[in-house]
Amino acid sequence: MNTNEYISDAVIRRLPRYCRYLEELMDNGFTRISSDELSKRMGLTASQVRQDFNHFGGFGQQGYGYNVKTLHSEVAHILGIDHVHTVIIVGAGHLGQALANYPNFEKRKFHILALFDTNPSVIGTTESGLPVYPVSQLESFIKENNVDIGVLTIPKSEAVKMGTKLAECGIKGIWNFASTDLEIPGSDVIIENAHLSDSIMRLSYQLNNAEKA
Amino acid sequence: MNTNEYISDAVIRRLPRYCRYLEELMDNGFTRISSDELSKRMGLTASQVRQDFNHFGGFGQQGYGYNVKTLHSEVAHILGIDHVHTVIIVGAGHLGQALANYPNFEKRKFHILALFDTNPSVIGTTESGLPVYPVSQLESFIKENNVDIGVLTIPKSEAVKMGTKLAECGIKGIWNFASTDLEIPGSDVIIENAHLSDSIMRLSYQLNNAEKA
């Protein structure tokens, strides 16, 4: 892989999708797949798939298509999900608890260590068995456990303050669910904003245009 | 707006972002904004913003920039969030409850009417005051209330069965959180798959490449 090459956001957006489709192929016992077949399943063109993979060296399609397991390993490696990321969730409300229960994180080596909350009534243990600690223990926990990623499932009004705290404690990445494009000036923490309502607005767009068509 | 023009997925993906940024500008008392300023805030180029808006007729930038409120109305109209969508949530677990509490849906005219679940212990009322009904009442509720959108916050193993049921009851759109690309053959229901883990995989990609850089 040529790490100096610029990879467009659109290509990067498709990587998790490739990963999911390849997992599904493995689960269904497929060992090889052609770019034609993969593209058909994903609603892309075969040349799009080949172009995408060429950004990363092509993944050596030989004879009949790609080896599914090898291809999955390569995509997982590019995504960095071939190694464990330690994760904490700040905000043990419904969304925090839902993420703590989500089976696909563990599968992708996102290892959730604990949840944190300011509300004393939720301190204890989640249904899934994870500890919920008071926010006062955040700093020592992050330093002792070398936490990579902090998930923010707290209100927008708290997001900058808590994000700044996470960054100061040495967290490398923030996955932000507070409905704002979180920015933490002067920090090199990497922030991914998960805007839930963007997805339902896209659904609305499609419904709206289906009605017109 | 020329409805026959093909609008690329990348442009459509940016529409909810424009909408959010314009809302924030309005909240902060801005009345006009130039494409330069808007693009800077959004991390795009000014020519990208103008190109995007040209797909929809340009929105008449005059003198100094766009009128923020008018521009927001135009984008909201294109997204179809200028009129109410009635919504039900199937699955009243943590994720369903989190979505039921999410303030931005009501703001964008996604009007959640009720939740449904098969588990008798969650039937009743959510913390936010919404009714939770047994799934056996799904069909009659959808027909009586003319429901537009069904949100699936149920396990992957139930998604096709429940999605098919929603489609048969006349639901127009499904917002699917079950971790699969839901397909319902033979139905013209529109499906938007919200893959939560795609977003954390993109974070992982960025962390991985920041380490290399």
pLDDT at A60: 67
Instruction: Spell out which residues of chain B touch residue A108, defining contact as CB-CB under 8 Å.
Output: 197, 200-201, 204
pLDDT at A173: 98
Q: Dihedral of CA A109/A154/A190/B199: which sign?
A: positive
Query: CB of A189 within 8 A of CB of A160?
Result: no
Mean pLDDT over each residue of chain B, to the nearest integer? 91
In this structure, what token pair is assigned to residue A42? 């994903």
For residue A93, the chain B residue with the least C-alpha distance is B98
**Residue-wise DSSP of A99-145:** HHH-HHHHHTTEEEEEEEES-GGG-EE-TTS-EEEEGGGHHHHHHHH
Task: Give the tens place of pLDDT for each residue, B54-106.
Answer: 888 777 666 678 899 999 999 999 999 999 999 999 999 999 999 999 888 98
Task: Give the tens place of pLDDT for each residue, B184-200.
Answer: 999 999 999 998 999 99
pLDDT band at B212 (very low <50, low <70, confident <90, very high): low
Spatial separation of the C-alpha atoms in residues B181 and B195, rounded to whole Å: 8
Instruction: Spell out which residues of chain A touch residue B84, defining contact as CB-CB under 8 Å.
Output: none
Interface test with A, best of B203, B209, B211, B212 (most A CBs within 10 A): B203
| pLDDT for B2 beyond 90 | no
Angle, alpha carbons B148-B149-B150 (nearest 5°):
135
* Percentage helix, strand, coil for chain A under 3-state DSSP, each rounded to 5: 50, 15, 35
pLDDT at B112: 97
Facing A205 at nearest CB: one of B12, B94, B179: B12
pLDDT at B9: 80
pLDDT at A110: 97
User: Is the CB of A203 less than 8 angstroms away from the CB of B149?
Assistant: yes
| pLDDT for B150 beyond 70 | yes
pLDDT at B179: 85
User: Is the CB of A95 less than 8 angstroms away from the CB of B93?
Assistant: no
pTM for this prediction: 0.90
Q: Per residue of chain A (213 residues), give pLDDT as tens.
A: 444 467 788 888 899 999 999 999 999 999 999 989 999 998 889 899 988 988 887 776 666 788 999 999 999 999 999 999 999 999 999 999 999 998 889 889 999 999 999 999 999 998 889 999 999 999 999 999 999 999 999 999 999 999 999 999 999 999 999 988 899 999 999 999 998 999 999 999 999 987 665
The answer for B124, left when phi > 0, alpha when psi is -120 to 50, beta otherwise, is: left
| pLDDT for B115 beyond 90 | yes
pLDDT band at B19 (very low <50, low <70, confident <90, very high): very high
Residue among B22, B17, B44, B42 at smallest CA distance from B32: B22
pLDDT at B62: 61
Query: CB of B112 within 8 A of CB of B85?
Result: no
Query: CB of A115 within 8 A of CB of B208?
Result: no
| Secondary structure of chain B as H, E, C letters | CCCCCCCCHHHHHHHHHHHHHHHHHHHCCCCEECHHHHHHHHCCCHHHHHHHHHCCCCCCCCCCCEEHHHHHHHHHHHHCCCCCEEEEEECCCHHHHHHHHCHHHHHCCEEEEEEEECCHHHCEECCCCCEEEEHHHHHHHHHHHCCCEEEECCCHHHHHHHHHHHHHCCCCEEEECCCCCCCCCCCCCEEEECCHHHHHHHHHHHHHHHHHC
pLDDT at B61: 65
pLDDT at B209: 87
Instruction: Spell out which residues of chain A touch residue B205, defining contact as CB-CB under 8 Å.
Output: 12, 15, 78-80
pLDDT at A211: 65
User: Is the CB of B149 less than 8 angstroms away from the CB of A93?
Assistant: no
